[in-house]
Structure 1
Amino acid sequence: MKKNVILIMTDQQRADSLGCTGNGIVKTPNIDALARRGAVFTKHFTPHQICSPSRSTLFSGKYARSHGLTRNGVALPQDVPLISHDFKAAGYTTHGVGKFHFQPILAPKEHQMPDSNAFWQLPESQEWRGPFYGFDTVDVLIGESVSATEGGHYARWLASKAPGAAALYQPENALEPQTGDIDEAWKSAIPDELHYNSWITDQACAFLKDQAASEPFFLFVSFPDPHHPFSPPAPWCDMYDPADMPTPARMPGELAAMPSYLSDGDKDEKSKSYVDFLRDPGPPREQGFLQTTSQFSDDSIRQAIAFTYGMISMIDACVGRIVQQAEQQGILDDTIVIFTSDHGELLGDHGLIRKGPSPYKALLQVPMIMAGPGIEPGNRIGTTSHLDVRATLQEHLKLNHCSTEGQSFARILEQPDGSVRQEFFAEYHPRTRMETYNQTMITEDWRVTIYPENPDWGEMFDLRNDPGEHVNLYFDDAYRPVRDRLTETLAQRFPPAADAGGVSIATY
C-alpha cells in the first residue's frame, strides 16, 4: 500500500526553536511528540537563506542556479519537475494549502500568476483552485502579517467571513499600543479563529476528512509564520515573558571583521520600515531586510523573541490538530509527516536581525523532523540538505526516479544514527547589490564563504572551537593554508554562477 505524505513547512524558523532540538523555553509539545515518533535531523540545512529559492530547491532537488528561481521576484519556471509532480505521476492526490511563494507576490496582472496579488483581481481567479506546480488543487495564501489579506483564497475567505477584519492585522489596531523601538512587533488584534494559521489548519483538516483510506495523497501545509513582523494574536502574544527570553549570541566588535555590508546596510533600513515597505514597496531593496540591532534596546529584542516563540507555539497547536485529524481518519499509521522550514532568522545573534546575504548558521540551519512508516523512532540524523528531500522521498516511497542534485538519505531513516554529507554548499543571489553574491562550503570543522564580485570580503569560521561563528578567520595569515584549501575545493566543486537565474519581474 502506498504511504501518504504530509509536508508541513514554516517560514523563517531557526533550527534551535523547538523543544526537541534543545530549546528549553519555547513550548512545542505536538512537534516534540512528532519527533519522538520519528527522526530528528540535527544538522539540516537549506542552500539558500531566502524564501523562494529555498522552497523551490526543496521541491525540485536542485540548486537555485539550476531551477532558475535564484532570488525573490523571479518566478519558478512551470516546466521544472518537482516532488509534487513525482507524487502525481505515482497516482497520488496532491493538494497544497498556505504559502507557496513560487511566484513573485507583486508580479503584474498580465503574468496571470496565482501566487501574486494581481491575479486575484482578474476574472480568471473567481473559481480557480489549480492545477498549480503539480498540485491538483490548492488553497492559496499570499504574504504574511499585514500583507496576507490582499490576494489569495484566504483573503477572499476573510473578506466574506468577517468583512473589515483585515484591518485587525494592522499595527494601528493592535491589542495594546506598541512599545519599544522595533516598529514591527505588536500584539495582533485579529482573533485566533480568523488568523491565517487557523485557516490553513482548517483547510488542511478539511482535505484530510475528504480522503478515503485507500487513496494515497501528498498534502503540503505551509505556514507564513514565524516570519517577521513579530505580530502573533491572542493568546499567543501573551504566552512568553520577554524577561525570560534568551540573550542573543553575540560578541562585542565581531562585525568589524565581517564584510562591511552587514553594518552599512542600516542606512537603507532606516529609510523605510518593513511594515511600511509591505504597504508601499517602492523601489527594490535587498532581500531579507538585514539590519544591525544597534538602534534597538535589549528589551525590544527580547520582545521580538517572545513574539516569535508565541508564533511558533501557535503553529505547534496547528500541527497537533493536523496530526489528530489524520489519526481520527485512521490514516496516521500509513502517513509520513515531515516538519521543516524554508530558512532561519538571526533574532539578535551577531548583533543582527531578520535575514540577508551572510550565510550564518542561524539562517541556513533549519528544523527537520520525519515520522511515519519505515522511519526509526528516536533516530538522530546528521548533515543533510533541503536539496536531498526529493531524492529521499523518491527512494523511500519507491516513486519514479527523476534526476536531482541531492543525495538520498532514505538508507539511514531506519538506522540508529547517520549522516549523508561530508560537505555542504550554499549560495546567495542578491537583488540589488551584486557584490553581496556569495558562495559557501560547510564541513564538519569549517565554514568558508567567498564573494566572487568583491575579493575584499570573505568569511571563515573554525566550527570546532567557534560553533557560534563569532570570530572571522578569513584574513588571518595563520589560517591561510586552510582557507586556500577550502576555497579551492569550493571553486572546483561549486564554481561561481552570479548571473544564473531568471529575470526579476517584481520587487518581491
Structure 2
Amino acid sequence: MPPNVILIMTDQQRADSLGCTGNPVARTPHIDALAARGAVFRNHFTPHQICSPSRSTLFSGLFARHHGLTRNGVALPEDLPLITHDLKDAGYRTHGAGKFHFQPILAGPEHEMPDSNAFWELPQSEGWTGPFYGFDKVDILIGESVSATEGGHYANWLRETAPDAAALYLPENALEPGPEDLDEVWKSAIPSELHYNNWITDRACGFLEEQDGEQPFFLFVSYPDPHHPFSPPSPWCDMYDPQEVPAPALTADELAAMPSYILDGDREEAGKSYVDFLRNPGPPREQGFMQTTQRFSEVSLRQAIAHTYGMVSMIDNCIGRLLAQLEAQGLAEDTLIIFTSDHGELLGDHGLIRKGPSPYRPLLHVPLVIAGPGVAPGTREGVTSHLDLRATLQAHLGLENRRHDGQSFQAMLTAADACGRSHLYAEYHPRTRMETYNQTLLTEEWRVTIYPENPEWGEMFHLTEDPGEHVNLFFHPDYTAQKQAFIEQMDREFPPAAQAGGPSLATY
C-alpha cells in the first residue's frame, strides 16, 4: 500500500521562525524533531505572497495566472484538478481540517460557497461536510482571530460548546490592555482549549482515530496562525520576552530607493486599522495591509514579534499532539508528513509589517520540512517552489502525471545533494492599484522585480552581497546590462499577464 500523506500548513509564517531553520529563540521541539528525521528545505519559496493564490498554486501546481485565483476575493474553479484529485484517483481517502481559503470569505449567499461566511446562513449548510475540491470531507474554519467565529464548522461548534466564548477573541475583552499605537496586539481571553488551533487539531486527530490501515489517506491540517492580528491566548501570549526576540532587519532610509507606493501605502493604512477592517470591511483596500512601522514604538513592535513566536509555539504544540496520535495509531512509519506555510510576514524587516505587493524574501521564503517513507534526512540547499509540490508528490507516490507548471524535486527527497531549480518566478496581482502588478525572477544570486504597468519602479538585489535585500540596484548604472538580461529572460519565459484571473466576487 502507498504511504499516507499529511500536509500541515500554517498561514503567514516566515522560513526563519523555527529552531530547525536556525532561529535562536523559537521553541518548536515537535517540528524540530520532525526535521531531524526528515528533509529541511532551506530555500523553499512561494510564487505568490498572498493567501489564496499561494494555496491554490500549491494544490494545483499552476501559477495563479493559470489556475485563475490571482487575488483574494476570486474563487478557485471547482472543476480544476488538484493534488486531492490525484490522490483520490489513486485510492486515497481525503480529509481536510482548518483554513482552506479557496473561495472568498465575503462572497455573497447567491454563490453558495462553503468557504464564505454567507453560506453558513443558508439551509443547505445544515450537516454539510463536503465534498470540497477533491476532499471527501472537511472541517472548515474561515478567517483568523476575531473573524474566525462568524462562519464554518468551527464557528458552529463554538456557539454550541460555549455560546458566549466568541466575544473572548475580541481585543476589548483581552487579558490585559494592548498597546495604543498598534491595536492588532493583544492577549486573547479565549481559553486555549476553545481556540481554533486546538479545534483543528482535535478534528485531525479524530480523523486519524478512524483509520484502520486498509486504505491510504491524505489529511490536510491547516492552521490560520501566525497570521496577524497578533493575539494568541494564554499561556502562549506570555511565552516569549519581547526584549529577547530577534530585532527586525532594516537599514536607514532603505525604502527611499524602493517603489514609491511602499511609502504611499502608509496613508491608506492610517485611515482604518486592520481589526476595524475585519469588523466592517468597507471599500476594497490593497491586499496584505503592508505599512511602515514608523508609527509604532519599539515596545509595541517587539510585543507583536513575541506574540508571533507564541502563535508558532502553540501550533508546534498542536503538531506534537497530531504526531502522537499518528504514533498511537501505528501509522507513523507509513506516513509522509509535509510542513509548510502559504507565505511569510515582514514583521518589521525593512521597516515594514504584514505583507504587500513587494516580494521581499520574508514574504516569499517559507518553511518546508518533509519526513517519512523514501525521504533521506538532512538539509537541502537547492531552490524549490510551492509550484513544484504537486509534481513532486506525483513522482514520489507514483501518481498519474497530470498537467502542471511545476517541476518535480523528488530527487531531492531521496538524495540530500540533489540539485534544485536554477531559478523561479513569482507574481503579484493587485486588488486596487493596478500599477503594483509585478513579476519576479529569483536565482540563488539575484532577485529582480519589474512593474510592467509602471516602468519607473523596479527592484534588484544582489543576494550574494546583500542577502537581506536592503540595497536596491535596479537603477544603478553598473548593473544595467545584467538587469536587461534578466528582463529579457522574463519576457521570454514569463511574459506579463496583468489582466489574468477570474472575476472578483468580494473584497476578500
When the two structures are superposed, what TM-score results if normalisation uses the length of structure 1?
0.99
TM-aligned CA deviation for residue 416 of structure 1: 2.5
How many angstroms apart in 2 are the aligned matches of 1:62 and 1:251?
36
Q: Report if the CA contact (8 A) 2:42-2:379 is conserved.
A: no
How many angstroms apart in 1 are the aligned matches of 2:330 and 2:417?
30
1:250 alignment counterpart: 250
How many angstroms apart in 2 are the aligned matches of 1:242 and 1:419?
39
Partner SS, residue 413 of structure 1: helix
Letter in 2 for 1:153: H
Letter in 1 for 2:438: N
1:459 alignment counterpart: 459
Q: Report if the CA contact (8 A) 1:379-1:415 is conserved.
A: no
Partner SS, residue 138 of structure 2: strand
Deviation per residue, 1:273-309 (Å, 9 max, x gap): 0000000000100000000001011111111000000
How many angstroms apart in 2 are the aligned matches of 1:417 and 1:292?
40
2:153 alignment counterpart: 153
Deviation per residue, 1:442-482 (Å, 9 max, x gap): 11111000000000000000011000000000001111011
Structure 2 unaligned regions, length at least 5:
none
Letter in 2 for 1:51: C
Q: Report if the CA contact (8 A) 2:95-2:218 is conserved.
A: yes
Establish whether residue 178 from structure 1 lines up as the match of residue 173 from structure 2. Answer: no
Letter in 2 for 1:92: Y
**1:51-130 pair list within 5 angstroms:** 51-130=51-130
Structure 1 unaligned regions, length at least 5:
none
1:163 alignment counterpart: 163
How many angstroms apart in 2 are the aligned matches of 1:422 and 1:299?
41
Q: Report if the CA contact (8 A) 1:39-1:381 is conserved.
A: no
Partner SS, residue 417 of structure 1: coil
1:211 alignment counterpart: 211
Q: Report if the CA contact (8 A) 1:40-1:368 is conserved.
A: yes
**1:75-474 pair list within 5 angstroms:** 75-474=75-474
Q: Report if the CA contact (8 A) 1:449-1:458 is conserved.
A: yes
Letter in 2 for 1:240: Y
How many angstroms apart in 2 are the aligned matches of 1:412 and 1:366?
17
1:7 alignment counterpart: 7
How many angstroms apart in 2 are the aligned matches of 1:17 and 1:73?
28
TM-aligned CA deviation for residue 381 of structure 1: 4.4
How many angstroms apart in 2 are the aligned matches of 1:65 and 1:420?
23
How many angstroms apart in 2 are the aligned matches of 1:507 and 1:410?
38
How many angstroms apart in 1 are the aligned matches of 2:250 and 2:381?
28
Deviation per residue, 1:92-137 (Å, 9 max, x gap): 0000000000000000000000000000000000010000000000
TM-aligned CA deviation for residue 419 of structure 1: 2.9
When the two structures are superposed, what TM-score results if normalisation uses the length of structure 2?
0.99
- Report the more deviating stretch, 380-389 or 91-100: 380-389
Deviation per residue, 1:428-455 (Å, 9 max, x gap): 0000000000000011111000000000
Q: Report if the CA contact (8 A) 2:411-2:418 is conserved.
A: no
Letter in 1 for 2:187: K
Q: Report if the CA contact (8 A) 1:424-1:443 is conserved.
A: yes
Deviation per residue, 1:57-109 (Å, 9 max, x gap): 00000000000000000000011110001111111000000000000000000
Q: Report if the CA contact (8 A) 1:7-1:338 is conserved.
A: yes
Partner SS, residue 288 of structure 1: coil
Letter in 2 for 1:15: A
How many angstroms apart in 2 are the aligned matches of 1:358 and 1:106?
25
How many angstroms apart in 2 are the aligned matches of 1:372 and 1:211?
18
Letter in 1 for 2:331: I
**Aligned residues, how many?**
508
Partner SS, residue 414 of structure 2: coil
Partner SS, residue 203 of structure 2: helix
Deviation per residue, 1:380-424 (Å, 9 max, x gap): 242000000000000100011111110101112111223320001
What is the Cα-based RMSD across aligned positions, in Å?
Answer: 0.6
How many angstroms apart in 2 are the aligned matches of 1:281 and 1:60?
30
TM-aligned CA deviation for residue 178 of structure 1: 1.3
